[in-house]
Amino acid sequence: MNHFLDIHTTDPTALRGMIDSAIAMKQARNGRPKGTPDDDRVLDGRMVALIFEKPSTRTRVSFDVGVRQLGGQTMVLSGKEMQLGHGETIADTARVLSRYVDLIMIRTFEEATLLEMAEHATVPVINGLTNRTHPCQIMADVMTYEEHRGPIAGKKVVWAGDGNNVCASFIHAAGQFGFDFTFTGPQTLDPEREWIDFAREKGVTVAVERNPEAAVTGADLVVTDTWVSMHDPESAKERRHNQLRPYQINERLMGLAKPDALFMHCLPAHRNDEATSAVMDGPHSVIFDEAENRLHAQKAVLRWCLGV
């Protein structure tokens, strides 16, 4: 049984296999109606529980469609419906769900909730997002880069803005896939030192550069995310905007990257805040390929978790 809890806790060979599998499945579906199942229907007869303590568009739809394309069925549950960790312990919920379903995907707030679910479940558990990490998103991002530009190993990836959960998983991926990573943003929003140390110990360069122009120069991939996360209090919004305005990805800044550099944003986006519409809709942008590839990358994760 394989849990997919984080990129840094998953074997690099397995991660590479998932990316290759995702690309192959996407190619095999070329031209096929989206509602039709894959030929092998490897999840036929399987039930997957999708638990959402946090609201979602891409995670919910992509996992739901992905399970159905693999021939399985889904049960979508909200944290409110389940009273997760309130009316019943997370451990007991994990034990009970394991009697009903073949796999659990959970999108939650606290990392501790995910880890307790995995500890007590007797079926695989997938991290659909926590406040600390977002590994499924980065699997799609690595897939997207390699679709367009080939192997990501040895490339320079620049993250601009908030060192948040998506940034954390990108740093994990730097260590596991072998690319260099530069963070540019205010010191108050730096990524966790633990993640930087992890990637550096894997032999890649992880730099923190306060000057966004210097950071983006020569980049192969420029990435940003919303300046205000869904769990941030209202009082933090204006303060964050003031801190992050110098790190907006606009045409001038994007022009400092390599001519064939790509731009990514995991969405949803606040256009003309963290990135201008000119960049998001411009020639460097692959944001909608990136969104689509959540479906294919997560299908590969599902298959790996269940050994199919």
Q: How far apart are CA 146 and CA 151, in angstroms?
A: 5
**CA Rg value for the chain:** 19
Q: Note if 225 is an active site residue.
A: yes
Tokens of 126: 């997938």
- Residues 6, 120, 225, 305: which is the catalytic one? 225
Q: How far apart are CA 203 and CA 248, in angstroms?
A: 29
Q: Are 112 and 57 in contact (CB under 8 A)?
A: no
Q: How far apart are CA 104 and CA 302, in angstroms?
A: 10
Q: Note if 266 is an active site residue.
A: yes
Helix (H) or strand (E) holding 183: strand 180-184
- Residues 46, 58, 120, 134: which is the catalytic one? 134
- Residues 69, 137, 243, 298: which is the catalytic one? 137
User: Between the CA atoms of 89, 93, 96 and 97, what dihedral angle is there, to the nearest 10 degrees?
Assistant: -170
Is cis: bond before 268, omega within 30 of 0?
Answer: yes
Q: Note if 137 is an active site residue.
A: yes
User: DSSP state, 281?
Assistant: T
- Residues 136, 167, 266, 305: which is the catalytic one? 266
Candidates 52, 8, 9, 10; CA nearest to 304 is 10
Query: What are the helix (H) ranges across 85-235?
Result: 90-100, 111-120, 135-149, 165-177, 193-201, 212-216
- Residues 294, 296, 298, 305: which is the catalytic one? 294
Q: How far apart are CA 267 and CA 295, in angstroms?
A: 14
- Active-site residues: which are they? 107, 134, 137, 225, 266, 294
